[in-house]
Structure 1
Amino acid sequence: MPDTAQLLPADVLDQRCPSRIALRHLTDRWTPLIVTVLASGEPVRFKDLKTTIQGISPKVLTETLRTMERDGLVTREITASVPPRVDYQLTPLGLSTVEPLTALRLWAESHVSEIEHNRAAYDSSPQR
């Protein structure tokens, strides 16, 4: 007999729901940027990810890619060479995140001026 909790719809507001972890992984600091670079569906070398995503350390990039691989969003392929070549590519599940994360990225890019203006007004407000 199936567990009744598995029959209920996912609810990110429920602290016990695994969808909350999935959402946290998708919206962490670096995952949307990695998805942006991998959005074409073509393999991308680790060094190219590191170069393209400004400000990310190799350690954090590795950790984020491992989380994404564990979640089934990317595949990793190692080619024997000196140094070893490591390529990452979005899986079909990972590709399904491109559209919503692109929409979020475009929203952020198109509203950055308004947000910066609001922050400045908030920070200069005498009530703060």
Structure 2
Amino acid sequence: MTDETGDSTATEELEVWCAGEDWCPVTTTASLIGRKWHPVIVHRLLEHGPSGFNELQDDVDGISSKVLSDSLENLEEKGLVDREIVSEKPFRVQYSLTEHGASLEPVIVSMRDWGLEHLTEPTE
């Protein structure tokens, strides 16, 4: 975002349809990371830093190439992930969190902590 002088503002704000409602911040956050794999991808990038596609796929066990690709594209569109071409031959891409994406760290850590506290082993 830019201010009236064209400079980047210190804090990015999101335009949302529910602005002004007291529940809107929850909805806004959920719209950014509410898909199944989004918080996991953000968590992996927070934990491991910039990563290539194959590294991410290895770090997110159980995700298909298509779902990872679609998720990364969506996170990039939302301004949470940057995609950088590292090499043309062989073609290599590296993904990293933007400043906006990295600012989700307390949310992701809270999600992890809550999950650890309430996670139980499946019963047979």
Deviations 1:70-93 (A, max 9, x none): 000010001224331110000110
What runs of 5+ residues in structure 2 fail to find an aligned partner? 1-15
Name 1:25's counterpart in structure 2: 32
In the alignment, structure 1 residue 82 sits paired with structure 2 residue 65: no
Question: Which structure 2 residues correspond to residues 54-73 of structure 1 after superposition, within 5 A?
Answer: 54-73=61-80
Letter in 2 for 1:71: K
Aligned counterparts of 2:114 and 2:100: Cα–Cα separation in 1? 23
2:20 to 9, 19, 39: 9
Task: Give TM-score, length-normalised by structure 2.
Answer: 0.72
* Alignment size in residue pairs: 108
Tell me which stretches of 4 or more aligned residues in structure 1 moved more than 4 Å: 10-13
Tell me the percent identity.
Answer: 32
Deviations 1:73-122 (A, max 9, x none): 010001224331110000110001111111111211221128x57xx9xx
Structure with greater helix percent: 1
Structure 1 pair 10–67 and aligned structure 2 pair: CA distance change class (3 A): farther
Aligned counterparts of 1:53 and 1:40: Cα–Cα separation in 2? 12
Name 1:126's counterpart in structure 2: none
Structure 1 contact 37–49 (Cα < 8 Å) conserved: yes
Letter in 1 for 2:52: R
Aligned counterparts of 2:37 and 2:113: Cα–Cα separation in 1? 16
Larger radius of gyration: 1
Task: Give TM-score, length-normalised by structure 1.
Answer: 0.70
